[in-house]
Amino acid sequence: MMRQYFEAKDAHPGTLVAMRVGDFYEFYGEDAETAASILEITLTGREDAEAGRIPMAGVPHHSVERYLARLIKAGQKVALCDQVEDPKTAKGLVRREVTRVLTPGTLVEDALLSARVNNFLVAVARDGHCIGWALLDPSTGEFLATEFAGEASEARMAQELARLTPAEALLPQDEETLPAELFEAIGCAVTYVNAPTSAGAERRLTEQFRTTHLGGFGIAERKQAVRAAAMALDYAHRNGLNTSHIDAIATYEVDEFVVIDPSTRRALELTQNSHDGGIKHTLLSVLDSTVTPMGGRLMRRWVEQPLRDKSAIAARHDAVQHWIEK
């Protein structure tokens, strides 16, 4: 069994592996020491024929999501290694495989998410002053992309980063990219991945959307945004997520909204207060009377990105007035 565990560990470096054993998920070795420290649970030991006694820690499978939430909040990634055959019919050792890797940006479990806040995974691809940016919320299927161009591209991207505060960022490995500190400063986990070529990325998206070209999505000419979008999809799929519900991508322009720098955003307390980062006493808390998670996410977005275009503002007012009068 220990061989199964450490094979899973070798296949998922930098990730805590939790293996299902009976009614528990167990961690071994250094993973056990890390999990026990974060979760404040007892660290015990288990005999291993090759390595002798090794550290072990376990949590009940029926309440595992509560413990996973604490590990993810602490910045860890967790691979669930489950039994993939019936112990009653298995011949010898029950076969186990990693069925899901939980990371800050790929959560879909209700118990690990706030229903009224998007949990975005952002992917970034860069070619000189052109930065491609793709946002994916795996739990809702929301998929957005844009590009930042020109000498101020990095500054404009930093403003968008402060507005959206994604849970996890994907940066290209072995390519010119952005400093990880830019993302880590807002509590965003950073993961380095292999970035596809433009041709490979386009092929990945057309396969996902079951189309022959990307012209209908407004993204065909945005090569870096296409690469970033493919990075996000590949990462979600590789971590065991079902991405079949993601059947489209929408583009947007940051110029459509009022530019608010990070320090001003904090001072205005639009959606987070300066006391504990919560919603209490913010502008959002005053305006938000929505009754559904989807409505709550939309209201938050409207507060965080005020419109600039007068006609768009008037159209929004007219829509609100229509429903008030109904």
Instruction: Give the mean pLDDT of 130-156.
Output: 94
Whole-angstrom distance, CA of residue 138 vs CA of residue 201: 19
pLDDT of residue 175: 78
CB-based contact 229:205 (threshold 8 Å):
yes
Give the 3-state secondary structure of 231-273: HHHHHHHHCCCCCCCCCCCEECCHHHECCCCHHHHHHHCCCCC
The domains spanning 2-102 and 121-256 adopt the same CATH topology: no
Please, what sign has the CA dihedral across residues 314, 315, 320, 323? Answer: positive
What is the Cα gyration radius of the chain?
22
Model confidence, pTM = 0.86
Task: Tell me if residue 192 falls in helix, strand or coil.
Answer: strand
Asked whether residue 276 carries a pLDDT value surpassing 90, the answer given is no
Instruction: Give the mean pLDDT of 181-190.
Output: 90
Instruction: Give the mean pLDDT of 270-282.
Output: 90
Whole-angstrom distance, CA of residue 290 vs CA of residue 81: 39
Specify the fold of 121-256.
Nucleotidyltransferase; domain 5 (3.30.420)
Q: pLDDT grade, residue 163 (50/70/90)?
A: confident
Buried (b) or exposed (e) across 96-130, using 16+ Cβ within 10 A? bebeebbbbbbbbeeebbeebbbbbbbbbbbeeeb
Residue range 2-102 forms a domain whose CATH class is alpha beta
184: tokens are 């880590």
pLDDT of residue 179: 86
For the chain, domain boundaries: 2-102, 121-256, 262-325
Residue range 262-325 forms a domain whose CATH class is mainly alpha
pLDDT digits (tens, 9 = 90+) for 232-261: 999 999 999 999 999 999 999 988 899 888
H or E segment to which residue 230 belongs: helix 223-238
Whole-angstrom distance, CA of residue 289 vs CA of residue 292: 9
Instruction: Give the mean pLDDT of 146-174.
Output: 92
Instruction: Give the mean pLDDT of 93-109.
Output: 91
